Amino acid sequence: MLLNDNPRLQPRLITSMELQNQHHPVDGSGDGSSPRDWVKDGACTALHPTVDHQTQRRLKGENASFHMLYTGQPNQYARTKRQGCQQWVPWLLSVFILYLFIPLDSSYLSLLGLDFPLLHPAQQVFESATSSLSLGQSIFNNTMSNPNVSLVPFTFQPLPLGSITPLGWLADQLTLMSDGLAGHEYDFYHIVHDSVWFEGYSEYSILNEGLPYWFNGLVPLAYGLNDSRLIHQVEDASDYIIEHQQSDGWLGPETEVASRDLWGRFPLFLGLIQLVEADPSRATKIIPAMQTFVDLMHSMLVENVGFTQIWGRVRYPDMLISLQWLYENYPEGNQEVLLETMHLLQSRSYDWSEYWTEGTFIFADLDTVQPPIEDGASPLFPFTHGVNAAQGLKAGATIYRFTANESLLANNRNGVNWTFTYHGDPAGSVIGDERESGLNANRGAELCTTVEMMYSMSYLYQALGDNYFGDRCELAAFNALPVSITSDHWARQYLNLASEPYSQHLSSPNPFWNVGEWGIIYGLEPNYPCCTVNMPQGLPKFLSASFVRVGEDGIGHALLGPSQVTTTTLSNVSVTVACNTNYPFSSVLHYNITSSSPFTLHLRVPSWNVHTNSSLRINDNGAEYPLTPDPQTGMTPVSLPAGNNRLTYTLGATIQVVPRANSTVSVYHGSLLYALDVGQTVTTLDVDLYNFSYADGDPSPYNTSTPYLPVQVHDFAFTNTTPWNIAIDPTSLVFHTTSDKINETALPNPLFDYRAPPTYITGKGCQVAWPLYNGLPAPLPALANGTTNRNCTGSMTDVVLRPYGSLKIHMAELPTVDLSMNLTSGSPLHRHAYEVVDE
């Protein structure tokens, strides 16, 4: 229904003062949100003339003075006709004529129902007024008049949740999650079991994000495993939330309008769209509730309420994904509001694309930047919060889908590259002990950052198709994620460090920006509860993104690992592909494929692959075929006939030595990071409970009573048993595996336990001088010019490097020494070839 056909909706003028408060360029003059302000009623949408000159130049002179929109009761927004705006133009021009020739002050304007600040030259205001109609008509014509405008398609189309099931070690890991903390939070963990979303008492933040985080991760875990117990948890939670939707459409426990903030709904929506994908029968209840909330969100964004805290305004790509999913799958005649809400979210939020430009992005170690990048004190802080950075990495791609603005993609690629180059850790995550710093190995990556970054990378690979994004997702999934969770999945870390020879209580001060003394132990909720409820999304979403549709007749294996997909191509060919493999602990992947007609299977070839050592063999006919990966996507096509087919895919991996900061290196074989094994002893600790509940303003009930905790729940400290201050000779490194490439046996379960994986690297090294800084290994001093190696302080010794994810304590950034002559006997050291990779 057109807006001006609805008698309940009344016109309202958005004043220039309101608009001035809604424009926040990232140059320090505001809080960093986009200068473009799209609002409801595209026919009267324009740009406010108070935006800074740089922004005006970037927008190539587009300007206007005001926005007109129609508002009414919540959930009642609809389209206006262009003539609805045109009817106001004579009245508005009259106002500006008065403004030009009569010395009005603000009290006169208030009598007219206006609140224009008298800040701009009359001529500029007049020119803005006369240009606003044509610009508004252009916006209306280009983006709003066609409610069925198509979004830019994905490079690789995602598959519905539930079409992909885990096999092998991946099934073991997800089952451990189900049997562990993730699968039982609903039963006992107060943030979930007693959540304010269920009319309980417990939350850790006024943002009310705890339950939505858990829900967003448990849905893909439940349906990835087809676990009836977990599915019941998901259904029970979603039913309760939907049934308690408030009369104006709000979803959540906030009963006072002033206390509402949109952010907590973002992970909730991601969970809901996955649930409907997995079980379309639930759409009849969920989709109307989502659409009703979208209408309310639209009105809130128009009014610029409920979206003032930084978290949603930097993490908005998550909601854009949900809105686009609704737009393409369940539009329900609400395409216009959905599309406009996308624009509103973008305009009200921080501009990642502008941050990812030279001159704005912070390349330096943030600890050295002056004035300091602090929360509330710097307009750039929202971009440098570790979890924000991980979630923001998909911003350009999500906006591109509804704007088709190609320039966003170059900046998005810069953002990913720069973030990992200047703030990334060797395990695939982003260093941010709350806020980013630099590259020092005694600074940590938060578990929340890791799982959010994995999701961003898998999304970017589907959306843009760059092989680099697939590599980054696998790197984090196989390294940064498992190292932060105990092998039985009953405890997790808040912060993981590349240089972490022990995991224990740290006395103050510690090296971190804003992480407490328990930040690196393992437990139920050390330091802060967010990672406990957010970690379940990591591996299940990796599984659900592992296969994709490619073009009309193709299926692609995008994120490698043991899994099976049953689906159809866009040309309606029924396909089942089962990949049995120990990858990444093996370089061989075995496929059993059944299809109703010929189709093309696409296999992603990681960028680290040594092509001369890789091959394809189809149906065991003896012939090997070379890989022909696409230069951008890394996908190599394999044309297969109808029926049953077998395929053996062999990758070529070698030891890679990657330079890191402070004249150190990290060692990889394929997609696995290898770290120094420093031995370990494990000490069981009392559970350190996070002692805060904002819901009633009183201390947590933990202060007065002991909560129920399953016997499996403990906190743990890990202590090294061998020296950690070791430098290695890279030429001495040798890769080993106990696996048989031809007849691979099942991997140990649990896999990411101490010394459980079948692969390791041996070599030679020695102790070097390496001081502590605030309780952890200090960044090593720079070497003198022309010097590449450290000096030994002890005898040459054997060293063993093991997969990083299996070593809860480790040293993964190591200095180097030259041991070409045996230090004790003078005999030469046997040297081995390795590949030096410059990141």
Q: How far apart are CA 120 and CA 613, in angstroms?
A: 68
Q: How far apart are CA 376 and CA 379, in angstroms?
A: 8
Is residue 576 within 8 A of residue 553, CB to CB? The reply is no
Tell me the H-state helices in 591-642: none
Residue 592 falls within a domain, yes or no?
Answer: yes
**pLDDT value of position 838:** 55
Same domain, 108 and 14: yes
Same domain, 100 and 213: no
Residue 705 falls within a domain, yes or no?
Answer: no
Angle between helices 447-464 and 407-423 (to 10 degrees): 150
**pLDDT value of position 97:** 42
CATH of the domain at 411: 1.50.10.10
Single-letter amino acid code for the residue at 69: L
Mean pLDDT by groups of 10 residues along the chain of 839 residues:
30 32 36 32 32 31 29 35 39 44 37 31 29 33 60 98 98 98 97 94 92 98 98 98 98 95 98 98 98 98 94 98 98 97 97 97 96 90 98 98 97 98 98 96 97 98 98 98 98 98 94 95 96 98 98 98 98 98 97 98 98 92 88 97 96 97 96 98 92 55 68 97 98 92 86 98 97 95 87 96 98 96 54 59
Peptide bond into 511 cis (omega under 30): no
| Nearest residue to 817 (alpha-carbon basis) of 799, 835, 839, 804 | 799
Same domain, 640 and 778: no
Same domain, 492 and 468: yes
Backbone CA torsion sign across 331, 337, 341, 347: positive
Residue 713 falls within a domain, yes or no?
Answer: no
Residue 124 falls within a domain, yes or no?
Answer: yes
Residue 703 falls within a domain, yes or no?
Answer: no
Same domain, 781 and 806: yes
Question: pLDDT per residue over 647-703, tens digit each?
Answer: 999 999 999 999 999 999 999 999 999 999 999 999 999 998 886 655 555 545 444
| Nearest residue to 486 (alpha-carbon basis) of 507, 503, 505 | 503
Residue 300 falls within a domain, yes or no?
Answer: yes
Question: pLDDT per residue over 732-755, tens digit each?
Answer: 999 999 987 667 899 999 999 999
Q: How far apart are CA 355 and CA 352, in angstroms?
A: 5
Q: How far apart are CA 517 and CA 666, in angstroms?
A: 27
Nearest 5°: CA angle at 557, between 737 and 743?
Answer: 30
Q: How far apart are CA 413 and CA 400, in angstroms?
A: 13
For the chain, percent helix, then strand, then coil, each to nearest 5? 35, 20, 45
Same domain, 645 and 659: no
Same domain, 341 and 470: yes
Same domain, 415 and 501: yes
In this prediction the pTM is 0.84
Same domain, 569 and 525: no
Give one DSSP letter per residue of 691-738, joined into a string.
----TTSS--GGGTSPPP--TT--EEEEE-SS---EEE-GGG-EEEE-
Residue 688 falls within a domain, yes or no?
Answer: no
**pLDDT value of position 585:** 98
Same domain, 433 and 456: yes
Question: How many domains does one find in the chain?
Answer: 4
Distance of CA 590 to the CA centre of its chain: 30
Domain end marker among 100, 116, 144: 144
Same domain, 538 and 435: yes
Q: How far apart are CA 526 and CA 491, in angstroms?
A: 9
3-state secondary structure of 214: helix
Cβ–Cβ contacts within 10 Å for residue 250, how many?
A: 22
Token readout for 793 is: 């302080």
Is residue 345 within 8 A of residue 65, CB to CB? The reply is no
Give one DSSP letter per residue of 389-425, joined into a string.
HHHHTTHHHHHHHHH--THHHHHHHHHHHHHHHHHB-
| Nearest residue to 674 (alpha-carbon basis) of 759, 609, 743, 741 | 759
Range of the domain at 589: 548-607+615-650
Q: How far apart are CA 739 and CA 304, in angstroms?
A: 59
Residue 712 falls within a domain, yes or no?
Answer: no
CATH of the domain at 572: 2.60.40.1180
Beta bridge partners of 762: 734, 800
Same domain, 379 and 419: yes
Is residue 366 within 8 A of residue 436, CB to CB? The reply is yes
Q: Tell me the percentage of the chain whose pLDDT exceeds 70.
A: 78
Q: How far apart are CA 670 and CA 583, in angstroms?
A: 10
Domain end marker among 87, 110, 144: 144
